[in-house]
Structure 1
């Protein structure tokens, strides 16, 4: 029986910068705000998303953090963004500087090649 190929997940690199309201909170208040205001909104609106969070403020002044999202499909990604926009995360705690959205090794999938840029040493 042939294996049915599934669509690749959607990956989004969300480049963000902290805003004064976020920085005015203590670290404990920040974690509480994130856990009570942002995470529940995401969980209530979408499924099939995963994330990783990277601090970059010690290397960049334009972007303080990069939030990497992987969504099972474009619909899950759209629901994620809609959910985030309804929370204080969006434009109160953080400025979304840029969104870079793509599909891993999309060029290889399009042309039937093995991924060349995936390197493990």
Structure 2
């Protein structure tokens, strides 16, 4: 996923979620133009709708890992904002059609230091 799809809104995230995903053959079979079109049609509208409360950063890890190909780092203003994005993505071809969601790891930045 491109950084262009990442919302630019500034906020202090209450929640960070690392989503470990593995691309499926259906995604890998698409050429770069088709992948870009899929992102524009299905993912960018979801991100745009939630740009004030959720940010996405995508990392390619297939060079160093075999279990997952990408890590999607979500930063959300609150749990409800993150949940709304996930619900919207579940209605797209990306969730369990083009990518397998292998693991979801939620966390808070420096939670111990905030106590």
Normalization by structure 2: what TM-score? 0.83
Name the CA distance, whole Å, in 2 between partners of 1:23 and 1:86: 20
Name the CA distance, whole Å, in 2 between partners of 1:102 and 1:37: 26
> Alignment partner for residue 21 of structure 1, among 1, 26, 42?
26
- Gaps (5+ residues) in structure 2? 1-11
Q: For residues 23-47 of structure 1, what are the alpha-carbon distances to aligned partners after superposition, in whole Å with 9 as ceiling and x for unaligned?
A: 1110110011011112213434674
The structure 1 segments of at least 4 consecutive aligned residues displaced by more than 2 Å after TM superposition are 41-47
Q: Considering only CA atoms, is the larger Rg found in Structure 1 or Structure 2?
A: 1
Question: Pairwise CA RMSD of aligned residues?
Answer: 1.6
Contact 1:45 1:83 in 2 (8 A): no
Greater Cα offset, 101-110 or 91-100: 101-110
Contact 1:46 1:80 in 2 (8 A): no
**How do residues 1-121 of structure 1 correspond to structure 2 at under 5 angstroms?**
9-44=14-49, 47-110=52-115
- Gaps (5+ residues) in structure 1? 1-6, 111-121
Normalization by structure 1: what TM-score? 0.79
* Equivalent pairs, count: 104
